[in-house]
Amino acid sequence: MSENAPLKFAYWVPNVSGGLVTSTIEQRTEFTYDYNKKLAVLAENSGFEYALSQVRYASSYGAAQQHDPAAFSLGLLTATERLKLIVAAHPGLWHPAILAKFGITADIISEGRFAVNIVSGWFKDEFTGLGEPWLEHDERYRRTEEFIRVLRGLWTQPNFEFSGDFYRIHDFSLRPQPFDVPGRAHPEIFQGGNSTAARKLAGRVSDWYFSNGKDFDGFSEQVADVRGFAADNDHAVRFGLNGFVIARDSEAEARDVLREIVDKADAGAVEGFRKSVQQAGNSTSDGKGMWADSEFADLVQYNDGFRTGLIGTPEQIAHRIVEYKKRGANLLLLGFLHYLEDVEHFGKKILPIVRELEADLDRTGDPIGVGNAR
Ligand SMILES: Cc1cc2nc3c(=O)[nH]c(=O)nc-3n(C[C@H](O)[C@H](O)[C@H](O)COP(=O)(O)O)c2cc1C
């Protein structure tokens, strides 16, 4: 994909209860299948190309109830025509061949719209509660690399062989193979996780690296690092960035909403989450990675989505999104307070400005306008 290809947009599927912020502020969002079917159809008609279904197996930190992302996504694939569904999956809980097989069937049913987000995990209690070993941080990533190599191998090669520390595959062929999409080698492999181990993983095997919410510098630092690792391995990787959108007619109104979200945070749940995520970046030797320097207010959106700063008027948000494109973003992964209303508003009021700015960027190398570098 060229640097100037139009930005792609994804949204977080609200497949867990409680919405995308751990706060008692009103969230007109539901985690039911009916609500999500409506949302998925609206999203694909509002310019969204992807939807990401998250995985949580146990009640925790505001997500009291959860739908399985694989089954839920398959339902949403059958309810839509163009939307691609990215299914989050944990090595250590799935076997890669079983996910590869599931993915082929979902890909064929949806005519090539299945993708995965391979997540190495931060939630120790989920693994230990299910009687599975909780590996040390970088070991989790070593397992994830093998997992992705097996997935890709089974999706592209007959009589596949693999001999690793975590997985062994002997002369195995999956039939049928994934749906044939011109220009796509296999269902896309996204990766969640931002530590040094995660960055190296992306530089070796992932198609997409998802960044947690970040300001400009934080995002640029990751892009440079991951691109360096990718260059060492002659590997191409694209970048997705998380952000939580609060669009209002004035910046002051949008900032008031953010203040209200944080003021009404469920402090106990946010604190519990903060403790749990110490298993992520903070447990590594260089202390880089997800949530390593997150403040209380950041954690109220559990993927640091406020840090991306998509908070203000449609014009301000569109400018900022295009600024991230200039810094290497290929995709924005978005969360909202009131999904049905906000996704529609995004498609009608923000996306057209983004497309205009991108056209300017193509023409001049720089989008017009100010107010983009807060
Ligand atoms: C966009 C994105 C989505 C993620 N989705 C999930 C998820 O659904 N379930 C989950 O357990 N972890 C998810 N993660 C977190 C990963 O499990 C990640 O590997 C872990 O937090 C460790 O991060 P680290 O490499 O920065 O230490 C996600 C991460 C990102 C960036």
Asked, for residue 111, whether it belongs to a domain, the answer is: yes
For residue 121, give the ligand 1 atom closest to its CA. Answer: 17
Ligand 1 in reach of 191 Cβ (< 6 A): no
Q: Is 44's pLDDT higher than 90?
A: yes
pLDDT digits (tens, 9 = 90+) for 48-106: 999 999 999 998 888 899 999 999 999 999 999 999 999 999 999 999 999 999 999 99
* Whether residue 342 has pLDDT greater than 90: yes
How far is residue 118's CA from residue 182's CA, in Å, rounded to a whole number? 24
Q: Kindly state whether residue 210 falls inside one of the protein's structural domains.
A: yes
287: left (phi over 0), alpha (psi -120 to 50) or beta: left
What is the predicted pLDDT for the residue at 302? 87
pLDDT of res. 274: 86
Handedness of CA 257, 37, 48, 184 (dihedral sign): positive
Q: Which domain holds residue 163?
A: 8-364
Cα–Cα dist 357/354, whole Å: 5
Number of domains in the chain: 1
Q: Which residue has the CA at smallest separation from atom 8 of ligand 1?
A: 54
Rounded to whole angstroms, the Cα distance separating 98 from 147 reads 11
Distance CA 240, CA 209 (A): 6
The pLDDT of residue 133 is above 70: yes
Ligand 1 contact via 20 beta carbon (within 6 Å):
no
**Count of C-beta atoms within a 10 Å radius of residue 70:** 21
- Domain assignment of residue 358, yes or no: yes
256 in a structural domain: yes
Distance of CA 119 from the midpoint of ligand 1 (Å): 5
- Per-residue model confidence as pLDDT tens digits over 240-250: 999 999 999 99
For a ligand 1 pocket test, name from 226, 290, 302 the mutation site with the most ligand atoms within 8 angstroms of its C-beta. Answer: 290
Cβ–Cβ under 8 Å, residues 258 and 311: yes
Mean of pLDDT values over 126-130: 96
pTM comes to 0.96
What's 184's domain CATH number?
A: 3.20.20.30
In a domain? residue 373: no
Residue 370 has pLDDT above 80, yes or no: no
Percent of the chain residues topping a pLDDT of 90: 86
Pick the range with the lowest mean pLDDT from 5-19, 208-222, 275-289, 297-311: 275-289
Q: Is the CB of 290 under 6 A from ligand 1?
A: yes
Q: Atom 3 (ligand 1): residue with closest C-alpha?
A: 192
Q: Quick check: is 370 in a domain? A: no
For the chain, what percent of residues have pLDDT higher than 70?
97
Closest C-alpha to 52, from 301, 335, 277: 335
Closest among 255, 200, 259 to 230, alpha carbons compared: 200
Residue pLDDT, tens place only, 185-242:
999 999 999 999 999 999 999 999 999 999 999 999 999 999 999 999 999 999 999 9
CB-CB contact of 107 with 113 (8 Å): yes
What angle do the packed helices 351-364 and 314-326 form, to 10 degrees? 40
Tell whether 1 is covered by a domain. no
